[in-house]
Amino acid sequence: MLETIWFLLWGVLWAIYFVLDGYDLGIGTLIPFLGKSDRDRRVMLNSMGPFWDGNEVWLITAGGVTFAAFPKAYAVMFSGLYTPLMLLLLALIIRGVSLEFRHQVESRVWRGFWDWGATIGSFLPALLLGVAFANIFMGLPLDENGVFQGDLRTLLNPYGLAGGVLFVLLFVMHGALWLTVKSEGDLQHRAARLARRIWPVLVAVVGLFVVLTLFYNTKLLFNYLCNPLMFILLAVPVVALVLLRRQIGRKDWWYAWGLSAVVIAGLTLFGVVGLYPAILPSSIAPEYSITVTNAASSTLTLSIMLGVALIFVPVVAAYQFWLYRTFSHKVTDKELDQHGAY
């Protein structure tokens, strides 16, 4: 029972991370496309300025839960997926450094260099996260000892790359909608126009990913076929995706961004629940899979962790809620003139 609870919490933590850091990664990716001037780029960076490092806390939390609740899964994941995870870590470091270094020197060349650092450090994590999770959904070539029988090229298959493109589009849409909330004038109009153009492409890629899920004969739909009522988990993000286009047309930006968050969280949870009871399914043989049963920590460890999580996770969530309420206003010239602004 505790193993299942922690598996669901693990999925929820990843969903929260994708929702919160997803728009940061999307905005960073969009810098070359929407940042027509230095002021535009500063507005884009300051729209996520108070939030981005706090959003990454959920990535650390999800990784920490994997380590503490499912140590075997953590060991297999960080050995088999070592190269993409190290690239992910390096890209996130580059993004953080770029954001902090950009405003230190008044130079067009200096700022341009770090703008590209922020773009690369945002695009790569989005792509790599999508590739990694798509391969997990499809199943990794794990042998009886949990050893990954492949390399980075193994992960760069059509299904994995489709997952990468899907994540990039989800995050870019999410980021563009966040800019419509936080900006004004021409930048807001361009972000809104981009969101409208991305929507049909996103719908097409979601459809392609579903087709590939069936084509590659993944086990992602097995739990749902056994219990069709569970398909409501898929219905929620699908309905949200349809409503999203209407809210973009109505220019109801907060509502649209909220629907985008529902799409990301819903698709994430749909995939995680589809994995159960596997955490890292094996494509070689089902009995080689890393599951909630053979990967879990002791009952005592899981019980203590649950008590700690019930206390501190709401505290972190409450703090972030306060942070978003406090900085919910649009980025203004006055804010850009403040010391320490990006």
pLDDT tens-digit series, residues 280-296: 999 999 899 999 999 99
277: helix, strand or coil: coil
pLDDT, position 195: 97
**Cβ neighbours of residue 116 under 8 Å, at least 6 residues apart?**
32
**Cβ neighbours of residue 297 under 8 Å, at least 6 residues apart?**
68, 69, 70, 71, 305
SS3 content of the chain, % helix, strand, coil (to 5): 80, 5, 20
pLDDT, position 252: 94
pTM exceeds 0.85: yes
Integer Cα distance of 144 and 290 in angstroms: 10
Dihedral sign of CA atoms 167, 172, 175, 176 in order: negative
pLDDT at 172 over 90: yes
Q: If pLDDT is split at 50, 70 and 90, which confidence band does 338 have?
A: confident
pLDDT at 328 over 90: no
Please provide the DSSP assignment of 97-140 as one string. Answer: HHHHHGGGS--HHHHHHHHHHHHHHHHHHHHHHHHHHHHHHH-B
Nearest to 146 by CA among 278, 7, 280: 280
The owner of tokens 């980075």 is 152
Structure tokens that stand for 276 in this block: 């159960």
The domain segmentation of the chain, as residue ranges, is: 2-336
pLDDT, average across residues 194-205: 97
Do the beta carbons of residue 215 and residue 83 sit within 8 Å? no
**Cβ neighbours of residue 222 under 8 Å, at least 6 residues apart?**
274
**Cβ neighbours of residue 136 under 8 Å, at least 6 residues apart?**
275, 280, 281
High-pLDDT (> 90) share of the chain, %: 78
pLDDT digits (tens, 9 = 90+) for 57-97: 999 999 999 999 999 999 998 888 888 899 999 999 999 99
pLDDT, position 11: 95
pLDDT, position 341: 78
Integer Cα distance of 172 and 103 in angstroms: 24
Structure tokens that stand for 216 in this block: 């590659």
pLDDT digits (tens, 9 = 90+) for 14-58: 999 999 999 999 999 999 999 999 999 999 999 998 899 889 999
Residue 290: enclosing H or E segment and its boundaries? strand 290-291
Q: If pLDDT is split at 50, 70 and 90, which confidence band does 279 have?
A: very high
In degrees rounded to 5, what are phi and psi of residue 278? -80, 145
Q: If pLDDT is split at 50, 70 and 90, which confidence band does 339 have?
A: confident
pLDDT, position 150: 86
CA angle 127, 129, 135 (to 5 degrees): 105
pLDDT at 159 over 90: yes
